[in-house]
Structure 1
Amino acid sequence: MSELADRLAALEARVAALESAGATAESDPPPSTGGAVGYSGDVHLAGDVSWSISYSPDGVLGLPPERSVEVLAALGHPVRFAIVRALLRGPMSATALQDTVDASSAGRLYHHLKALTGARIVDQHARGDYRLAPSTVVPALVLMLASADIAGEVR
């Protein structure tokens, strides 16, 4: 019986070793995916803007989501999307924006502008004048293009 007890003990030791190795592997971070993702642009709308950024996929997945979600939520309303499209052509007054995007009232327009300025998409350039910061132009266009691509609008 001693031989059987020895074999059972050895088997239990091997199972324990395998289980602990599996637990360590599960707690280790996933291997790096490698590669790069990015975007760039050289835009001549209301002014000349060049922008380029490249990130590793792991770096993108490691970015904190809170501000990104705020930006996406701000752009997720049709009136706000229209405001950004209008401002890509150049700075506009609140009055011109209200006429351009068919905002129902000045109060509603300012509500949407507050969301866009809070998300750092739109800047209030001067009293009543709004614009996109130059560093926002290419990323805003890329977001518009990427969303249209996901929607199947671009081919």
Structure 2
Amino acid sequence: MELEQRVADLERRLAALENAQRSAPCLVEGDFWALDGLKEQLAELGAADGGVLFTGAVRLPTGEYYEWQHGTAAEGLLDGDWAPDAEVFAALGHPVRLRLLREILGGRRTAAELAESDEVGTTGQIYHHLRQLTGAGWLHTTGRGRYEVPAGRVVPLLVALSVARP
């Protein structure tokens, strides 16, 4: 019985993946237009091991607009020590911190405004989470107790969220 359940679960997951691929919007003609551009640049640089590219153009509910892209050769990623990056990922690993980031992107920028949100805890807990996010580079202060997601982190945050979803 357990094997039948596992096969059924795998079939459901496969069907969901196939549907997601079919329904994914194509913004530019050609399925792999960004990938093709990356391959051309990697060939020009002689990066035989490949690379990673992510990019985005986003208008936030506040009206702020961000365009951003980042590319890295695979060699630099695969050969490096990943341990120092743990804090950056760990800061995103708490539901309240993700909620705070979402609220800040939505326009609530001070601890008092954030405290008005549901499920973020006490003011002391909010400050604790804000310190964690600031220390990991997901937030910075803009003066007078105001917080914002740095421009260079808006698209990467949304990329991380999109990768986390099935």
Aligned residue for 1:36? 51
Q: Across the two proteins, how many residue pairs are aligned to each other? A: 118
Aligned residue for 1:134? 151
Aligned residue for 1:146? 163
Aligned residue for 1:7? none
- 1:109-144: CA deviation from partner (whole Å, max 9, x where unpaired): 000001000001111112221111111101111111
1:101–1:114 distance in 2 versus 1, CA, 3 Å: farther
CA distance in 1, matches of 2:142, 2:108: 8
Aligned residue for 2:110? 93
Q: Is the 8 A contact 1:121 1:133 kept in 2?
A: yes
1:79 matched to 2:71: no
- Select which of 61, 64, 69 maps to 1:52: 69
Q: Is the 8 A contact 1:79 1:101 kept in 2?
A: no
- Work out which structure has the larger RCO, using CA pairs closer than 8 Å and 6 or more positions apart in sequence: 1
TM-score (norm 1): 0.69
Aligned residue for 1:124? 141
1:80–1:127 distance in 2 versus 1, CA, 3 Å: same
**Paired letter, 1:96:** E
Unaligned runs of 5+ in 2: 1-46
CA distance in 2, matches of 1:113, 1:84: 9
Q: Is the 8 A contact 1:94 1:128 kept in 2?
A: yes
Aligned residue for 2:21? none
Matches within 5 A, 1:13-24: none
Q: If you compute each CA radius of gyration, which structure gives the higher value, 1 or 2?
A: 1
CA distance in 2, matches of 1:85, 1:63: 31
CA distance in 2, matches of 1:105, 1:139: 28
CA distance in 2, matches of 1:54, 1:139: 12
**Paired letter, 1:72:** F
Aligned residue for 1:105? 122
Let me know the Cα RMSD of the aligned residues: 1.8
